[in-house]
Structure 1
Amino acid sequence: MYQQIYDPIAGSLFYSSLLAALPLLSMFVMLGWLRIAPQIAAAVSLAVCVLVAVLGYRMPWSLALDVGLYGAAFSVLTVLWIIVNAIWLYNLTVKSGHFAVLKDSFASISPDPRIQSIIIAYNFGALLEALAGAGTPIAISGAMLLAIGIRPMKAAVLALVANTAPVAFGALAVPIVTLAQVSGEPFGLLGAIVGHQTPLLAAFVPLILVFILDGKRGLRQTFPAAVVSGVAFGLSQWVAATWISVELADIFGALGSAGALIVFLRFWQPATPTVIEGVEQATTQHAPRHAKATVWLAYAPYILIIAIFSLAQMKAAQQLLGVGTFRFAWPGVAITSGAGKPVGSMFTLNALSATGSLLFVAGILSALLLRVRPGVALATYRGTLWQLRWAIPTVLCVLALAFVMNYSGQTITLGRWLAQTGPAFAFLSPVIGWIGVAVTGSDNSANALFGALQVAAAHETGIRPALLAAANASGGVLGKMISPQSLAVGAAAVGIIGQEGMIFRKVIGWSLLLLLVLSILVYLQAGPLAWMLPA
């Protein structure tokens, strides 16, 4: 049985951390600087990770490879199955011609592509995050932005940046549920504290989106609508997380923001320039009108997603879907922590209740409603798999890397090094969550990985444990946009596979800027702003 070690370079936690960080540094350098294709960068980084685990952390070769296989298998249902079916569903709407109707519907709210980008990437994307998560909003909103005329690179960047504030409460607050389980802090309290952090970031995201799309002119011409959308989202998310339901925080945020924006646009519209860099054509023309039945049919696939995922949360449905769930210990993985406690290695095969399976059902029903012939639907699915031919190995390698880092002890080494900063740890606490999501692509996984560490560090430093645990979830949302998994999804959705490195360079600055703001906020909440947190 392998026992994890956290100081492979004895007597120096700093150098041990540098060793543990090599896989991450390798990936970020290859993607952001050397501009190497993501599938190659992920494969090379995985090889570096295995070498560090075997040579530095003294993990047996067979175990390191087995753990990597475990991570790759984990990614199939939790990531790839979702991505494939989400993009397939979108491709069905394009094939049937109904996506053009949906695009005209968004344009009828405002002909301005900058406003449409807020509605699609921010409002609609948050609603998808609330119900499905796991890359679904990036895939679908990125493709939708492309369809309204926004060029591929900017569409991918907008989709990634918009998918920030909703992530902590994604999939009906599953990351908060996991955080409560591993940290021992109350679920409602953690959700409320996250609800006092992410809404402040959410309020600024629409302003960032219009700046990305149209620079200073975009801010000057559309900031009233962007402010209304962002503030309404933040207030709705804060109210829901604090007083109504943590699980519904994103749904309240998305609908509250969309509702406020639609009402506001009835009384005000921005001046739309003839040419916007990054947009294929001017959108000042009014969208053509369609029959109400046609418009409802265009929205049907997304209404089906909402209905199916809402029904899946009911107790009776969960019991029914649970019939197809099997849990077993992954063969060959026998590991104990540094303290001698067994490290869990359960694999859950939830074929029926998996998010991707529910999306697959939504796709089949959508094909029937949109009258797509079975042969066309099947050909579209094959085309989707071909579209994702490079994204699939990238995701497999990234999740394998994450599991090898986790099970060998590399991630704990990084976390322990950051925890040596004493009271200043409150500033670095969100950074740990950010690193966790940057590696795994999942706030849920980052919370599972570092939630207990945050609480342990809080007890050592005298900082409120629930605050640091919540900061892990909040910091994680800002790592989502730079995760190789998210980059692969965004690139695949808009058809620029191979340009993930360019996308990374365009979003890393926003990720770090928002992380700095959040870190300052958490540091102040541990001291002079402690009054703003729920008891």
Structure 2
Amino acid sequence: MTSLFLSIIPIIILIWMMTKKNGLPSHIALPITALMVGALQLFYFGTDLTLISANIIAGILSAITPISIVAGAILLNRMIYLSGSEDIIRRWLEGISKNQVAQLMIIGWAFAFMIEGASGFGTPAAIAAPILVGLGFNPLKVAMLALVMNSVPVSFGAVGTPTWFGFSNLGLDDATLLATGKISALIHFVAAFVIPPLALRFIVSWQTIRQNYLFVLTSTLSCTVPYFMLAQWNYEFPALVGGAIGLILSVVVARFGLGLAHKEPQESVQMATGNETFANADTSVDLQVSVRTSNSHSNPLGTNSKGTDQAVPFSQIIKAMTPTILLITILIVTRIKQLGIKPLLTDSTEIFTLSLGPLGDFSISQALILKLSHIFGTDVSWAYKTLYVPALIPFLLVVLISIPLFKLEGHVVRQMFSETANRIKMPFIALVGALIMVKLMMTGGENSPIMTTGQAFSDLMGTSWQFVGAYLGALGAFFSGSATVSNLTFGAIQQTIAINVGLPQTTILALQSVGGAMGNMVCINNIIAVSTILGIANKEGYIIKRTVIPMLIYGIVAAIMSTLV
């Protein structure tokens, strides 16, 4: 009991620090929590100092992956803004429909659904959220909407990585893995009836949602029906194909105004020009956001600056969308292994090795995978897939292609990189704290704080475990920032519990997969990432307090569905 209490107390304190009135920002709260976990490992669990030190080094290095992705996303966002593409896209989307619900569903739901299917890694929020802010929506509310929306497709995100790789250490045959995916898809399909409305409520009123619910439902089903159908025979492409079909159908339906209210009630969504402040009465917070307007800055695209009511020429739309089209194309081509490029970007064949003495062995592979093995003589290691992590490819690559495409001047390019560097300083500290905490929570094998917590809850629940199993998956995503890592970490626990208490293995693993996906809503890494991209400071606790509600509802849906499959 003491081990369980000490295992969970750092997390309770972390949540309290970040969600209390005048809560601490994540770049302070997370390093404090990491220090607490380290002290517990050393003085209570008796973990060797060398092993603790090795995990601290691995945690620091592991922060390079998420921060490089965030940096790439911000750089692309600044390029799109400064080139004038953001204004063109905004005007085009307003031309499709000025209805706020339609805009939120097309970009925040269907477009993000497709991007999750291609890439994962938090990329959907990084790309979709700035577009919505460019349309005039409050950035803090957009961040919450993006986090909640990006849950349903996650189990099959990044071409199915959370499923086929997340459970790769469990010895499952392909039939069992497919059966697990089918159940996951069914639970997500049902949850999708409530998740988009809950996400929309962060921005618009229930009255507006009701008036436009036919469109909301149509847009939702246009993604989830093909998603569910494809999951019956494949666990790699449901999100990618479902999102692509859903995006096309959502745009077509919105263009004809089907299911949309002809006249919307006045909403408290404020537009911003230049660097104006978004007033937020609910949070008493001023968020400085740069939203491009038709008469601000020079315009490389040559757009009409006399207003936004005129139709946008098709050639301008294509040019403005080129970076996004390139991004999606590169993501798809590099993520589908059958095309032959993915193996080249993930080739781990070593071409260079160097001993760093006590620090470990450093190596570089043919695919430029950087790896540090045997840190301080332990089994702890770190690796960074330089060409596969979506930082250099596609983010930086697309930016470099776009600079001559839009004929951006040198001072503009310098501004892009300068603004990106300034935005990632504090998030980097927060991510270092988060990943050190995660590494230390997982140190100790079966006696680690994470395993102790999971096993204690399973012992307590017995055969009723299926009613809370999804929340363990969410806890893993909260810690690690990844549904894949959550499945890798807790998949074995869930499998053992299922066998021990006599529950269907595929059902419990599906709950784990769904839990890892819904945990994206409260995942610290994702919250930091989307907040950084949107220029939101010190609101992580505020966001968690609000996104945890739809996450809890998601878990209830999963629990009910687990009794019916």
Normalization by structure 1: what TM-score? Answer: 0.89
Match of 1:153 in 2: 140
Q: Aligned runs of 1:126-141 on 2, under 5 Å? A: 126-141=113-128
Q: 1:205 to 1:279 in 2, by over 3 A?
A: farther
Tell me which of 348, 351, 375 is aligned to 1:331. 375
Q: Aligned runs of 1:262-301 on 2, under 5 Å? A: 262-265=251-254, 266-268=256-258, 269-273=260-264, 275-280=266-271, 287-301=309-323
1:371 and 1:396 map into 2 onto residues whose CA distance is 37
Tell me which of 423, 426, 430 is aligned to 1:394. 430
Match of 2:387 in 1: 352
Are 2:56 and 1:68 equivalent residues in the alignment? yes
Secondary structure in structure 1 of the residue aligned to 2:168: helix
Are 2:144 and 1:108 equivalent residues in the alignment? no
Secondary structure in structure 1 of the residue aligned to 2:27: helix
Aligned length: 500
Deviations for 1:233-252, whole angstroms, at most 9, x for unmatched residues? Answer: 22121011113x32111112
Q: Is the 8 A contact 2:205 2:267 kept in 1?
A: no
1:350 and 1:387 map into 2 onto residues whose CA distance is 23
Aligned-residue offset at 1:161: 1.1
1:233 and 1:180 map into 2 onto residues whose CA distance is 25
Deviations for 1:52-77, whole angstroms, at most 9, x for unmatched residues? Answer: 21122111234213202202212212
Q: Aligned runs of 1:158-307 on 2, under 5 Å? A: 158-185=145-172, 186=174, 187-243=177-233, 245-265=234-254, 266-268=256-258, 269-273=260-264, 275-280=266-271, 287-307=309-329
2:425 and 2:342 map into 1 onto residues whose CA distance is 33
Q: 1:502 to 1:134 in 2, by over 3 A?
A: same
1:333 and 1:108 map into 2 onto residues whose CA distance is 61
Q: Is the 8 A contact 2:70 2:533 kept in 1?
A: no
Are 2:397 and 1:361 equivalent residues in the alignment? yes
Match of 1:3 in 2: none
1:513 and 1:458 map into 2 onto residues whose CA distance is 23
Partner amino acid, structure 2, of 1:115: A
Secondary structure in structure 2 of the residue aligned to 1:179: coil
Match of 2:41 in 1: 53
Normalization by structure 2: what TM-score? Answer: 0.84
Secondary structure in structure 2 of the residue aligned to 1:390: helix
1:377 and 1:267 map into 2 onto residues whose CA distance is 40
Partner amino acid, structure 1, of 2:194: F
Q: Is the 8 A contact 1:70 1:400 kept in 2?
A: yes
Q: Structure 1 stretch 114-123 or stretch 433-442: which is displaced more?
A: 114-123
Secondary structure in structure 2 of the residue aligned to 1:352: coil
Are 2:450 and 1:414 equivalent residues in the alignment? no
Deviations for 1:255-276, whole angstroms, at most 9, x for unmatched residues? Answer: 2322332333315232343631
Q: Is the 8 A contact 2:323 2:402 kept in 1?
A: yes
Q: Is the 8 A contact 1:72 1:400 kept in 2?
A: yes
Partner amino acid, structure 2, of 1:521: M
Deviations for 1:35-92, whole angstroms, at most 9, x for unmatched residues? Answer: 1111111111111111121122111234213202202212212x11111101211110
Tell me which of 480, 486, 494 is aligned to 1:446. 486
Q: Is the 8 A contact 2:371 2:382 kept in 1?
A: yes
Secondary structure in structure 2 of the residue aligned to 1:200: helix
Aligned-residue offset at 1:303: 0.9
Q: 1:371 to 1:246 in 2, by over 3 A?
A: farther
Partner amino acid, structure 2, of 1:352: L
Partner amino acid, structure 1, of 2:136: G
Secondary structure in structure 2 of the residue aligned to 1:242: coil
Aligned-residue offset at 1:287: 4.5
Partner amino acid, structure 2, of 1:271: H
Q: Structure 1 stretch 476-485 or stretch 250-259: which is displaced more?
A: 250-259
Aligned-residue offset at 1:375: 4.7
Secondary structure in structure 1 of the residue aligned to 2:382: strand
Unaligned 5+ segments in structure 2 are: 274-306, 348-365
Deviations for 1:346-377, whole angstroms, at most 9, x for unmatched residues? Answer: 43232222222212212222333233235522
Q: Structure 1 stretch 84-93 or stretch 121-130: which is displaced more?
A: 121-130
Match of 1:493 in 2: 533
Deviations for 1:271-310, whole angstroms, at most 9, x for unmatched residues? Answer: 343631133379xx97532221110111111111121122
1:281 and 1:488 map into 2 onto residues whose CA distance is 23
Tell me which of 484, 490, 496 is aligned to 1:456. 496
Q: Structure 1 stretch 259-268 or stretch 57-66: which is displaced more?
A: 259-268
Question: What RMSD over aligned residues (CA atoms) do the two structures have, in Å?
Answer: 2.1
Partner amino acid, structure 2, of 1:183: L
Are 2:541 and 1:505 equivalent residues in the alignment? no
Q: Is the 8 A contact 1:22 1:49 kept in 2?
A: no
Aligned-residue offset at 1:520: 2.5
Q: 1:194 to 1:94 in 2, by over 3 A?
A: same
Partner amino acid, structure 2, of 1:211: R
Secondary structure in structure 1 of the residue aligned to 2:268: coil
Q: Aligned runs of 1:371-386 on 2, under 5 Å? A: 371-386=407-422
1:330 and 1:146 map into 2 onto residues whose CA distance is 45
1:56 and 1:124 map into 2 onto residues whose CA distance is 48
Aligned-residue offset at 1:417: 0.9
Q: Structure 1 stretch 316-325 or stretch 112-121: which is displaced more?
A: 316-325
Match of 1:469 in 2: 509
Q: 1:216 to 1:316 in 2, by over 3 A?
A: closer
Q: Which is helix-richer, 1 or 2?
A: 1
Q: Structure 1 stretch 300-309 or stretch 132-141: which is displaced more?
A: 132-141
Q: Is the 8 A contact 2:477 2:517 kept in 1?
A: yes
2:454 and 2:402 map into 1 onto residues whose CA distance is 45
Q: 1:217 to 1:333 in 2, by over 3 A?
A: farther
Q: Is the 8 A contact 2:164 2:235 kept in 1?
A: no
Deviations for 1:471-497, whole angstroms, at most 9, x for unmatched residues? Answer: 111011111111111111121122111
1:188 and 1:169 map into 2 onto residues whose CA distance is 11
Secondary structure in structure 2 of the residue aligned to 1:197: helix
Deviations for 1:215-254, whole angstroms, at most 9, x for unmatched residues? Answer: 22122221111111112222121011113x3211111221
